[in-house]
Amino acid sequence: MFLLHFLLVTSVLQLSYTASIQDEYKTYKGYKLYRVVGDSQEILKLIKMMNQLAEIPFYDARGARGDILIAPELVQIFEERVRLANLQANVEIGDYSEIIRSEKTGSRRKGSDFSWTAYYDVDDIYKYLQNVSKSHPDSTELVVGGQTYEGRQILGLRINTPSENKSDNKPVVFIESGIHAREWITPATTTYFINELLTSNNPDVTALRDQFDWHIFPTVNPDGYHYSMTRDRMWRKTRSKSSTYCYGADPNRNWDHNWLQHGATNNPCDYQTYGGSKPFSEVETRTLSEYIASLENLLAYVAFHSDAQILLVPYSDSVEHTDNYDDLVQIGKTSLEYGRQVNGEEYGGPATAAEILYKASGGSMDWVREKLGTPIVYTYELRGSYFHWPAEKINEQGDEVTQMLLGLFKEAKNLGYY
Ligand SMILES: [Zn+2]
């Protein structure tokens, strides 16, 4: 009896202790963002070694350059390892918590209305989609692209304006964003684009809207996005329970195409690229893939990520080119040129991730291209600095993306894709 009581008391204490820790938004106080330069193999080894030592919330290796976020208690050992490996490390951001604090204060909401001067959590984004579908009943409807581990829906908006000839089957365009939870600018840009399609007076934009049957999903990893907004800014994965003490898989390494072959790990505790226990182990990717496969007449698939500022064409895990690679590059170039006219911003690419970024298997874009044969498939990496983008400048990327999509479909039409 005493033992039972003791166990009960300690487990209650543990529960409340865990709850009080989890209730807090992780501050990242004193975390340093380093840029490491030198031998690419040594950089990869350094990142691997740090990942074995502790949870590393952010790392990114691209050739002779690597970025890594280091907790204060790991700074000494990290700098020692950098020296031993003959690498050079510079501190890019001295205290990552200041970025997080600036996001909290810089985000301005306009009363209860949805706006593009603030970042909104899942419930608000879904409310926005519901309101839009109510105010445009003839041309829009809510669509459910799938389910999540925590029981949410993957909610999207279908925009399909009535056409004169009702038997017309318009080409379908599918847009996904927010598959990586911490890339906040992507859901914001996608709702901005929805708003442009529905309210713009620009005849090019209204023509773009009317030509297609749009299926647009601002946040396809809503559990992860909510967690990133409320608990851990650097969260990227889903929130499924992967093992006794680690959570989530990378939903863009979990699709059933060359699963786990490149740029993914089988370590469930890895903060970034755990591919899941098997292909489509995550309910989000499995159900979303079923939705996409059910779409007839799918012409184009577009995924939004941040913040490498490049345009990617399939495949992400191979230097092999698709049979319409040259067309995709030509269309992509026009798209980027349209975007450049807005803010003068140059994007890298169009190119395959394997050639311009790094090889990564199990991504949504590759699966769509390979399994469904969708002709026009792109991943846009938007702009930003370590996933941070000021809320008051969301419109800047929103306008850029709107123009990029106008350019994309203009050139696709020129080449006879529709
Ligand atoms: Zn991403």
Both structure tokens of 380 = 């846009």
- Outline which parts of the chain fall under CATH 3.40.630.10: 106-414
Adjacent-strand bridge partners of 60? 67
Decide: pTM greater than 0.85: yes
Say how many Å lie between the CA of residue 358 and the centre of ligand 1. 13
Active-site residue, selected from the candidate residues 196, 381, 400, 411? 381
Say how many Å lie between the CA of residue 172 and the centre of ligand 1. 24
Say how many Å lie between the CA of residue 333 and the centre of ligand 1. 21
Say how many Å lie between the CA of residue 382 and the centre of ligand 1. 10
CB-facing half-sphere around the CA of 361: CA atoms within 13 A = 17
User: What tens digit of pLDDT does each residue of 201-241 get?
Assistant: 999 999 999 999 999 999 999 999 999 999 999 999 999 99
Say how many Å lie between the CA of residue 84 and the centre of ligand 1. 32
CATH number for the domain formed by residue range(s) 32-97: 3.30.70.120
Adjacent-strand bridge partners of 157? 142, 216
- Outline which parts of the chain fall under CATH 3.30.70.120: 32-97
**What's the sign of the alpha-carbon dihedral 314, 315, 319, 322?**
negative
Note down pLDDT in tens along the chain; length 418 residues: 444 444 444 443 444 344 444 568 999 999 999 999 999 999 999 999 999 999 999 999 998 999 999 999 999 999 999 999 999 999 999 999 999 988 876 666 767 789 999 999 999 999 999 999 999 999 999 999 999 999 999 999 999 999 877 667 899 999 999 999 999 999 999 999 999 999 999 999 999 999 999 999 999 999 999 999 999 999 999 999 987 689 999 999 999 999 999 999 999 999 999 999 999 999 999 999 999 999 999 999 999 999 999 999 999 999 999 999 999 999 999 999 999 999 999 999 999 998 998 899 999 999 999 999 999 999 999 999 999 999 999 999 999 999 999 999 999 999 999 9
Say how many Å lie between the CA of residue 87 and the centre of ligand 1. 27
Say how many Å lie between the CA of residue 305 and the centre of ligand 1. 4
Say how many Å lie between the CA of residue 179 and the centre of ligand 1. 7
347 upstream amide cis, omega within 30 of 0: no
Say how many Å lie between the CA of residue 45 and the centre of ligand 1. 23
Say how many Å lie between the CA of residue 363 and the centre of ligand 1. 10
Q: Does the active-site annotation cover 320? A: no
Say how many Å lie between the CA of residue 326 and the centre of ligand 1. 25
Give the pLDDT of residue 106.
61
Say how many Å lie between the CA of residue 169 and the centre of ligand 1. 32
How far apart, in Å, are the Cα atoms of 350 and each of 288, 294, 300, 314?
26, 28, 16, 10
Q: How far is it, in rounded angstroms, from Cα 196 to Cα 194?
A: 5
Options 3.40.50.620, 3.40.50.800, 3.40.190.10, 3.40.630.10; CATH of 106-414: 3.40.630.10
